[in-house]
Amino acid sequence: MNIKIGTRGSKLALWQANHVREMIEALSPGLQVELVVIKTKGDKILDAPLAKIGGKGLFVKEIEEALLEERVDMAVHSMKDVPTELPPGLVIGAIPPREEPWDLLVAKEEASLDSLPRGAKVGTSSLRRQAQLLARRPDLNIKPLRGNLDTRFRKLRETDLDAIVVALAGVKRLGINSLPMKVLSPQECLPAIGQGALALEVRQGEMMDILKTLHHPETEASIKAERAFLAHIGGSCQIPVAALGGVEGEELTLRGLIASPDGKKVYRGEQKGPLSQAHIIGSELAQTLLDQGGRGIIEAILGG
């Protein structure tokens, strides 16, 4: 049997797809797995912030089309790129164990939010990161930064940026360690929904035997709560939101955040409950933060 995995062509996306390929081949030695590289809209437009060009789905739509047209059998996505609503006929068939979800501050000099010079130029195109950095350090000068990890590190080295913020998971997966780095605590920068996790998307009802061997239920519970949180808020890339689930035994803890892009208003909360209630925990925490003041932020941003 031959399985075709659809993936983006970036170094990190290929690492992730090969990681899944190796897991499948190790667990099912008779299978032949081949990667099919597909260019997405997000890969083609590199000179504009994601929030300005459509946000969610930019890195998955073309791969989902290949799935629906049966040109590939499985898609490997970064979970944080996957919209909360999937096209009819497609499902997230498995979520493997999650890599560390944290954000990482990378600097030319000392990598610490407190030690960056006043007015330091920090590169990120994420409104979520921008809002939390400015909440902590209103003096920072946030500069737009797109591109793959190699490009972002190169821009830090070659331009007047003082620091950049990227996902720790990608840096670990690619083994990059060329500059001073520090993991940001959840109090400094709560991660994006799904950060560090992979989504294996397939056509409904297909490949179930393979998928169940790759699936990690604890990661699924965290992701389910985070995505329910995002879905309840409305999930626009224009709104700075963050959430992170954690599992201990049979209990799930979800931390969430809604912030204004300038970091002047930040609403945080936490909710706990049994793993089986992951979806409810996410929705209820979102509602709590909307009631606290998050709805006002969203209305101001979207003009609603």
Q: Amino acid identity, residue 5?
A: I
What's the longest Cα–Cα distance across the chain? 59
Strand partners, 2: 32
Of 254, 244, 259, 256, nearest to 293 by C-alpha is 259
- State residue 75 phi and psi, 5-degree precision: -115, 140
- Catalytic annotation, pick one of 43, 47, 73, 81: 81
Question: In whole angstroms, what is the distance from residue 127 CA to residue 4 CA?
Answer: 35
What distance in Å separates the CA atoms of residue 288 and residue 89, rounded to the nearest whole number?
33
Q: Which residues does 262 contact at the CB level (< 8 Å), separation at least 6?
A: 131, 134
Whole-angstrom Cα distance, residue 29 to residue 178? 37
Beta strands (DSSP E) in the chain are 2-7, 32-37, 74-78, 90-94, 103-107, 121-123, 141-143, 163-167, 181-183, 198-203, 241-248, 251-259, 266-274
| 81 labelled catalytic | yes
Q: Is 299 exposed, middle or buried (0-12, 13-18, 19+ CB in 10 A)?
A: exposed
- Decide if 303 contacts 236 (C-beta within 8 A): no
Report the first-to-last Cα separation within the chain, whole angstroms.
Answer: 52
Catalytic residue set:
81
